[in-house]
Amino acid sequence: MCLMLSACTTSSTQGQAAVRTTESVSTEAESDSSGQQNSVPDPTTTTSVPLPTVDLQSMPGFEQVTVTDAEPGTQIRAVDTESGLTAASATVADNGTAVLSGVSGREVELQVWDGTTPSGSAGLITLPDDRPPAQSLYTTQQLQSGFNYIETRDGTLLSAFVTLPEAQPAEGETFPTLVEYSGYSPSDPAAADPARLTLPLLGYALVQVNVRGTGCSGGVYDGFSRTERFDGYDVIETVAAQRWSDGVGMWGISYPGIMQLHVAAARPPSLDAIAPLSVIGSIDDVVLPGGIFNDGFALNWGERVTEGAQALGQDWTLDRVAAGDQTCLDNQDLRVHNPDLIGQAQAEPYSTALTRERSPESFVGEIDVPVYLAGAWQDEQTGGGFTELLDGFTESPSFQATLYNGLHIDPLAPDVLVPLLEFYDLYVKKDSPALSPFVSFVVEAGTASFFGTPLTVPDSELRNLPYADALARYEAAPPIRVLYEVGTDAPGLPDARFEARFDSWPIPEAENWSLNLVPDQLVAEPSTSTDSIVSSFVTDPTEGSQTTLPIGAQIWSAAPGWNWRAAPAANRSRFATEPLEDTRVLTGTAAASLRLRLPDGEPDADIEITLSDIAPDGTETFVQSGWLRLSRRAIEPGSDSLNPQITNRADDIAPLGAQEIVEAQIATLAFAHVFRPGHRLALTIDTPGASRAEWTFDVIPDPVRVEVLAGSSLVLPSIPLEAIDVDIPAEPPVCGSLRAQPCR
């Protein structure tokens, strides 16, 4: 059964004269049992011999063709009509379906093959591309409050749940609308979703949509693909065409935040603004930090999402089917063709064209709507690599970012949420921000449910201003807003102590603070020797599986009970400054340039660097880490000295030779931290692991001795105090009070 008959192609309307075929021609030979050489068909050679017509129901999609009701075990090929080459092929599954993915070309002929021989043609198919479909696709769809399906340009139906501020809006009544779009369970009708409960109270309609191949949505799940991007385009335009919708933005933390970037890059004309929260910069940053496979969060997340994308893999879909939703049931048919994304990542553990194409840092320059972005340096899930995006929104007419020490859920904290609501009011509602007492009450109640206690809601500087004045003031503010020492005044909770604003990222006022590694110390003077060993340690592979989060801990609470362990002295090299005489405000990424040798002849080693703050009483606070597999040390051309980024490409992998001395540049993730007089900055070099809440590392399984040689250095981003227009409190945070920064 074709999923959408209006989009199906059958062969009965195609004449044989129009058919191009790929009949066999001898290009190489093989011998049979008698010694005779038999011709081997070349499936890429075209002839003019017509093929018999076959009846296949098919649905053209973006770079793919879906076939339904075909003979199981049959091979289907899509042949490019221009080149005559096979663009894609697939074998029909037991349920009679096939999905031909990665189809190149605008027009293909669909052929049935018997082994190496074509046996029939289902005619020509024109595939959609990135050009917009007819507007009627959107205007003819009517979405109601509750559960719906949204049709995309290839006929795939996406499950959606609509929540309106009023279940039955009056004639002509409209609402600003926010769209949430992900592969989780946004369209689950029974979800106890905080956004579904609160955003309509603030006057916004909310449309929550499952990406294709998840929930009750049709199609095949292929995470972060361009197909999902253009599906999102169709969702936005369909929502914008509803009589009750007036202005469309996007909402969501993490997965739905990342999808905002993908959809906005497709430039749907009715999209007014996006607010990506707790997102990634690139897939490799999370899956392969420093070239080392993240077998903690990254692997667990991938397994969880792909398992949920299996047929009826999300529990709520069983309820839909049991209640008689035949569309939901039919939409499960193609799940047998879901690609093995985890297997692909493990088979190619390095940067590929696919991962680069699907990474936001490669396309955020195409986004042409206002953007509000928020992220935590120590985010336990998506990490801190989102900062690679901050200077990339070159086409966005308005860009604001709020950055802070903290955790994945912290965009829901008042210091971040209030500017977010202002942003939506200005660009989606197109009205003056209305932080009324009722809105403050809703926000405060929300914080109590998220963080276990209500947090004070800051007042809005834009409230009561005329719209034009509020918009002008918002856009005049420097775009980079950094919250410092979150958690100090409300220990462990997402409440900032002070903040500063900057004109761009990397922060232009930052100066390089350069330090050199000598035995046990970080000093300003460079070493006079380049051959001496300043330190050595043996890697401890058991650290790779260790985290700072105890089993069963509630990480988003004020006191998760951090377990940040120090490696034994034999398994680390450690360097520290003398007590500082002046206050240092460090904001950005730091980088160690290490001269290393593996004296026992091993070809590779995994390295972690960690920055920490040692107080006069000896307590030590985590600041930030970075990682590197030494064979992945090749650096992207043009990398900044504070932020050297590895290429991580297969062609650049270079194991170490015997006794070879290499220079390894290792960048930390970004951070913002104040070092006060009397405190010492420490650099620890050891094995990846035991430094993150949910990331673990598939490290080299055998211990490796690592020598750190003279000539190694560390450079950090130090902002002059005069560049920060705020009084910095003299008293340092109490050990353990900073959110997401363990203290020991």
Q: What CATH number is given to the structural domain containing 182?
A: 3.40.50
- 25 shares a domain with 106: yes
Answer for the pair 610, 556: CB distance below 8 angstroms, yes or no: no
Q: Give the sign of the dihedral formed by CA 7, CA 8, CA 13, CA 17.
A: positive
Q: What CATH number is given to the structural domain containing 675?
A: 2.60.120.260
Q: Which of 204, 202, 153, 152 is nearest to 175 (CA)?
A: 204
Position 736 in a domain: no
Look at residue 105 in the predicted model and tell me its pLDDT. Answer: 76
Answer for the pair 366, 357: CB distance below 8 angstroms, yes or no: no
Does the pLDDT of residue 369 top 90, yes or no? yes
Average of per-residue pLDDT across 319-329: 98
Quickly count: other Cβ atoms within 10 Å of residue 417's Cβ.
Answer: 23
* pLDDT tens-digit readout, 627-644: 999 999 999 999 999 999
Average confidence score pLDDT of the chain: 92
Query: Which of 75, 92, 126 is a domain's end point?
Result: 126
In this structure, which amino acid lies at residue 497? R
Position 695 in a domain: yes
- Give the pLDDT band (50/70/90) at residue 268: very high
Look at residue 12 in the predicted model and tell me its pLDDT. Answer: 33
Q: How far apart are CA 470 and CA 450, in angstroms?
A: 29
Average of per-residue pLDDT across 705-725: 96
Does the pLDDT of residue 516 top 60, yes or no? yes
Look at residue 48 in the predicted model and tell me its pLDDT. Answer: 57
- 641 shares a domain with 576: yes
* pLDDT tens-digit readout, 542-573: 999 999 999 999 999 999 999 999 999 999 99
Q: How far apart are CA 37 and CA 322, in angstroms?
A: 59
**Domains identified in the chain, total number:** 3
- 700 shares a domain with 568: yes
Does the pLDDT of residue 10 top 90, yes or no? no
- 165 shares a domain with 58: no
Q: Which of 364, 367, 370, 365 is nearest to 471 (CA)?
A: 370
Does the pLDDT of residue 41 top 50, yes or no? no
Share of the chain above pLDDT 90, in %: 84
Look at residue 527 in the predicted model and tell me its pLDDT. Answer: 79
Q: How far apart are CA 211 and CA 60, in angstroms?
A: 18
Answer for the pair 621, 684: CB distance below 8 angstroms, yes or no: no
Position 402 in a domain: no
DSSP state of 128: P
Residue 452: both structure tokens together? 């276990």
Does the pLDDT of residue 439 top 90, yes or no? no
Look at residue 130 in the predicted model and tell me its pLDDT. Answer: 82
DSSP state of 284: H
- 148 shares a domain with 122: no
The whole domain housing 707 covers: 511-723
Does the pLDDT of residue 223 top 80, yes or no? yes
Look at residue 719 in the predicted model and tell me its pLDDT. Answer: 97
Look at residue 31 in the predicted model and tell me its pLDDT. Answer: 35
Quickly count: other Cβ atoms within 10 Å of residue 171's Cβ.
Answer: 5
- 178 shares a domain with 111: no
Query: Which of 126, 146, 165 is a domain's end point?
Result: 126
Does the pLDDT of residue 136 top 80, yes or no? yes
Q: Which of 376, 377, 367, 418 is nearest to 397 (CA)?
A: 367
Does the pLDDT of residue 34 top 90, yes or no? no
Global pTM exceeds 0.75: yes
Look at residue 436 in the predicted model and tell me its pLDDT. Answer: 81
* pLDDT tens-digit readout, 401-414: 999 999 999 999 99
- 164 shares a domain with 42: no
Position 557 in a domain: yes
Q: Is 707 exposed, middle or buried (0-12, 13-18, 19+ CB in 10 A)?
A: middle
- 168 shares a domain with 305: yes
Sheet holding 75-80, edge to edge: 86-91, 75-80, 107-114, 117-126
Position 390 in a domain: no
- C-alpha Rg value of the chain to the nearest Å: 28
Look at residue 263 in the predicted model and tell me its pLDDT. Answer: 98
Query: Which of 348, 371, 392 is a domain's end point?
Result: 348
Residue 674 φ/ψ, nearest 5 degrees:
-100, 120
Position 369 in a domain: no
- 43 shares a domain with 189: no
Q: How far apart are CA 38 and CA 630, in angstroms?
A: 51
DSSP helix, strand, coil percent of the chain (3-state; round to 5) = 25, 30, 50
Position 388 in a domain: no
Q: DSSP H helical segments within 603-730, as ranges? A: none
- Give the pLDDT band (50/70/90) at residue 648: very high
Q: How far apart are CA 415 and CA 411, in angstroms?
A: 8
Position 366 in a domain: no
- 142 shares a domain with 99: no
DSSP state of 677: T
- 228 shares a domain with 107: no
Residue with tokens 């499960």: 332
Average of per-residue pLDDT across 289-308: 97
Does the pLDDT of residue 104 top 50, yes or no? yes
Q: How far apart are CA 376 and CA 384, in angstroms?
A: 7
- 208 shares a domain with 77: no
Residue 531: both structure tokens together? 């051959």
- Give the pLDDT band (50/70/90) at residue 284: very high
Q: How far apart are CA 230 and CA 244, in angstroms?
A: 23
